[in-house]
Structure formats: structure tokens, C-alpha cells
Structure 1
Amino acid sequence: MTEDISVRKVKSAVRTVELLEYLAARHDEPARLREISDALGMPRSSAHALLRTLVGQGWVRSDNSGTLYGIGIRALLVGTSYLDGDPYLPLITPFLDDLRAQWDETFHLARLDGTDIVYLATRESKQYLRTASRVGRRLPAYATSLGKALLAERFGPDRDEHVPAELQSLTPRTITDRAALDRELDDVRVRGYARDDEENTTGLCCFAVPLRYCKPAQDAISASVPVDRLTPQRERDLIDALQTQGDKVTRVVRPVANGDRWFAS
């Protein structure tokens, strides 16, 4: 009896996490009860009860009619605490500041999480503005330069854990064939940097290098440039700058990472 109760509690926790992740992935598009129930394979009565509980705790918000649901402010507080508690961000972000000051492009820091990369910090170019901050955003690792830089550090089953069975197309240029992806990752490993050519965002080319202060690398930095003003010389210069700063980050952060219980190599 006690074991059955424990199992039910674990299932309830999994459903709660799945629901929150589903709502978070929708960004500013709220969901109806039927959509949530269908997406998660959950009975509507169970989904409704869970939603009302989470609304009461501030993890989910609903409209005045109680028919539309979105992620709540408590999720923001938890995400912010993760960033505040990360020992590496304060060490790495000054290098992003230097890159942006010198090159006036958009630079990112991201971490590999499952089959996705998660953006931890962004320094925007003053030449153009995005409609929303990328911090906290998730994208499939295989479709980004950041993700490919980190996947290239892994081999065999270790790589497989971070690549979904089916590669979905984000743009017409996304690599959706696993063999082609592996060949691309082999090239990334040899040349020391990754590139995505409008593979997750049309009109944008990105370059990334892994930060090897732990093994295998968990984090990477990248530069994003609109393709309409990217020249071969600009590309070479940005890659050189990323590799130089990446080496500096590794030397600064490695002593901290080697003593860290999460990422010790």
C-alpha cells in the first residue's frame, strides 16, 4: 500500500513538470484545457484539478473566464534563482560584454540540457533588436551552432542521449538526416567551431565554440549575424574572436569547475 502511494505521488510530480514545461514552451500563447489534456494524454478532470492547484500556487495563470492557461510568475522566480546561483555566469558574461563592445553583434551563452540548448545570457547588437529576450529559451541542439559545438564534444551513446530520434525541420535549411548531422559534427570537431546557416532562424547565421572548462563541455558561446551583412572576412574575424575569448573563459573558469560537484571533470 505504501509503495503504491509513493508511485502515485511520483506520477503526479511528473505530470506537474510536464504541464509546466508544456505551458512554458508555448511562450505567450495560452492553452485551453482540451489542448493541455490532449497534448499530455491526461484525463480532463485530472488536468483541470492540477491546473487549479497550480493557479492557486502561482505556477500557472488563467484568464478571467478560467478557460485559458499560461505559465505563472512563480516559474520566473525559480528560473531567476537558477541564474543567480550559477557560479560561472558572473565569470563568463564579462567576455560576452567584451565581444559585443568590439564587434557589435549579438552574442549568446547557452548550456546543453537533454536534447536542447538553453540560453543563459545574451548581449544584443545595437544594430538590430529582437522582439524578445532569448534568456531561458530552448532550441533543439542539432539545429543550432551552440548545440552542434557541444554535440561534437560527445561520441556514441553519450551523443545519442542529446539527439532526438526524429530531427524536425525548423527552417528549410535544418539538418534532418542523422548521418548528415554526424558528418557535420565530425567536421565541427576538426575545425574547432560550429556554424548554423539559417538552420533555426531564417536570415540569421551563427557561429559557436565550446567552453572546455569541464569535460565534456556543457556550455558554449556564439555570435549571430544577419546573413545580408555577413562577409567572408567578417565571418573569419568573428570565429577568431570567439575562439580567443573561449580559450580565455576556459582558463578563468576551469579552477572553479574542477571543484564543482555538478560539472567537475
Structure 2
Amino acid sequence: MSSTDSTPARGAEHRTVSRVMAILEVIIASEPEGLRLGELSDAIGAPKSSIHGYARGLVTTGYLREHEGRYLQGPAVSTLLAIGGQQVPVGYHHALEQLSKACDETAILSILVGNSAIIVDLVEPTQTIRASPPMHQRNPLWPVSYGKCFLAFMEPRRRDAYLRRITDDPAERDRIAEELVTVHDTRIGYNRGERNPDLFGVASPILLQGKEVTMAIGLAGPAARMDAQLDRISKSVLDAAERLSTAGVRE
């Protein structure tokens, strides 16, 4: 293919990148109110039909979030900054330190990013054999413990769409939905070796008033050791989540 033949394709790619970046910049500048689709279209100077597709893709990947018809900055933007060295609030890290010390297991802070969960901070225990999950990587929401917390408090249509993507079996979707009701009511999600038979996970959502659930705190460790003290661990995780929920975000 000649350079002349490839120029239109490269131009289209550049326009796509430019438009996506323009959407992100305009939305971030509009915080905390965000923008409706029509307002975003006017700000970018592009048709709503074109902007809508890009915006939906950015919501799915977590770079934007949609709330009551308005587009706002999504948690994936903060995750990129965290990878670059920005730390989570001190209060959250201190809670992880306390939780890890109390149970001598790995304490984890996870956030919801699109249809994935990302660990943004953790504190490891003194134990030689311990869970050491990677940070700043996308994990599936199901069946990890903190992912179950996000699903349990997720808007029903979004949750149902996610479940349809991960399984074609209606009976399995019903079983998962039933478990998520329990997670919602108890505010505790368990991963009893469902992803790795040697590891257990326990998590609880951080509930900030008036906001969707996008953070969870929990513990992970060897299955046999966690199972032997599961009741105590569950209470410690739930107490930590409740304290953070009451305190809110602190720098």
C-alpha cells in the first residue's frame, strides 16, 4: 500500500484520539457538575450521535462515569495518576495498616473501574506465606471478593448486563444474583478459593453518602489460615469499611 493510500486511515485514527482526549479534558474541567450529552456535544463541536459512542466506550472502561444523565470523571483517571506516583488518601492507607496488623493477612483497597476492579493500595503482613496480589491491574468483578461487593451495589441493569457477558447459563446467573443479594444485605463478599483454590478473600464496600459504591476494603490470604478464623476476619473487615464509610474521604 502506498503512503497516499494509508493517509486517510491515519487521519481518521488521529481524529479519534483527538476526540477522545477532548471529551476527557472537557469533562474533567466541568467537575464536579459534569455535562449532559448535549452540553458535551456543544463543547466539543461534534454531533451528539458521534460523541455518544465515544462517551459510552469511556464509561465502559471507567474513564468516565454516568450519573443521572450527566457524564463525570471516572475512577480510571485517578488510577492512571496513582500509577504515576499519586498516593491514596492517608486515612485509607492507615486503615489498611490497622486491618493487616489485626489479622496478620494482606489488606487490600480496591476501586471499581468500568467493569473491572483494580487494587490501588495494599499492606502485607508479617507472615512469610501470604497473598501478594498485583496492584494497578484490571481484575474481573466475579468471583473476587471486592468485585462481588461492587456487583451487589451496582445499578441492576448494568449488573444484569455484566452477568450476561460472563455466563450464558440462566441458572448460573440466578445463583450469582442470589449470592449478590446476600452480599448486599450483609455488606460482606467472600471468595472462597473460587479464582485460586489456595487463596481466600473477604471484602466489604465503603459506602459514601450520596455516591455510588466504587471502593472496597478487604483481606486476602492462604485458604486454610483464613478459613480457620473467618468469623473474626469478617468482623474486622466490616468494621474497617464502616469506619471509612463514616469518616468519608480524608487526605
TM-score range, shorter chain: 0.5 to 0.7
How far 1:5 sits from its partner (Å)? 8.1
**What is the rounded CA distance, in whole Å, between the counterparts of 2:192 and 2:99 in structure 1?**
21
CA-to-partner distance for each residue in 1:12-68, whole Å, 9 max, x for gaps? 679xxxxxxxxxxxxxxxxxxxxxxxxxxxxxxxxxxxxxxxxxxxxxxxxxxxxxx
Residues 130 and 242 of structure 1: CA distance in aligned 2, closer, same or farther (over 3 Å): closer
Aligned to 1:226: 222
How far 1:8 sits from its partner (Å)? 3.1
How far 1:216 sits from its partner (Å)? 1.9
Q: Secondary structure at the match of 2:203?
A: strand
Aligned to 1:157: 157
Q: Secondary structure at the match of 1:101?
A: helix
For residue 138 of structure 1, what is the amino acid of its counterpart?
R
How far 1:225 sits from its partner (Å)? 2.6
How far 1:117 sits from its partner (Å)? 0.4
Residues 11 and 130 of structure 1: CA distance in aligned 2, closer, same or farther (over 3 Å): farther
Report the TM-score when normalising by structure 2.
0.62
Residues 141 and 218 of structure 1: CA distance in aligned 2, closer, same or farther (over 3 Å): same
Structure 1 runs of 4+ with >4 Å offset: 4-7, 10-14, 76-79, 129-133, 161-164
Structure number with the bigger relative contact order (C-alpha 8 A, sep ≥ 6) is: 2
Task: Indicate if the aligned counterparts of 1:213 and 1:253 stay in contact, CA closer than 8 A.
Answer: yes
Aligned to 1:125: 125
Residue of structure 1 aligned with 2:240, choices 218, 236, 245: 245
Q: Secondary structure at the match of 2:218?
A: strand
Task: Indicate if the aligned counterparts of 2:130 and 2:221 stay in contact, CA closer than 8 A.
Answer: no
How far 1:183 sits from its partner (Å)? 1.2
For residue 80 of structure 1, what is the amino acid of its counterpart?
I
1:187 aligns with 2:192: no
Q: Secondary structure at the match of 2:127?
A: coil
**What is the rounded CA distance, in whole Å, between the counterparts of 1:104 and 1:130 in structure 2?**
9
How far 1:148 sits from its partner (Å)? 0.3
Count of residue pairs the alignment pairs up: 182
Structure 1 unaligned residues grouped into runs of 5+: 15-75, 169-175, 257-265
Task: Indicate if the aligned counterparts of 2:129 and 2:222 stay in contact, CA closer than 8 A.
Answer: no
**What is the rounded CA distance, in whole Å, between the counterparts of 1:111 and 1:229 in structure 2?**
26
Q: Secondary structure at the match of 1:143?
A: coil
Report the TM-score when normalising by structure 1.
0.59
**What is the rounded CA distance, in whole Å, between the counterparts of 1:131 and 1:192 in structure 2?**
22
**What is the rounded CA distance, in whole Å, between the counterparts of 1:77 and 1:149 in structure 2?**
23
**What is the rounded CA distance, in whole Å, between the counterparts of 2:194 and 2:206 in structure 1?**
22
Structure 2 unaligned residues grouped into runs of 5+: 1-8, 20-78
Residue of structure 2 aligned with 1:8, choices 9, 13, 19: 13
**What is the rounded CA distance, in whole Å, between the counterparts of 2:164 and 2:199 in structure 1?**
24
Residue of structure 2 aligned with 1:203, choices 181, 195, 198: 198
How far 1:188 sits from its partner (Å)? 0.8
**What is the rounded CA distance, in whole Å, between the counterparts of 2:250 and 2:123 in structure 1?**
25
Residues 8 and 225 of structure 1: CA distance in aligned 2, closer, same or farther (over 3 Å): closer
Task: Indicate if the aligned counterparts of 1:205 and 1:224 stay in contact, CA closer than 8 A.
Answer: yes
1:109 aligns with 2:103: no
Aligned to 1:100: 100
For residue 220 of structure 2, what is the amino acid of its counterpart?
S
How far 1:254 sits from its partner (Å)? 5.0
How far 1:206 sits from its partner (Å)? 0.9
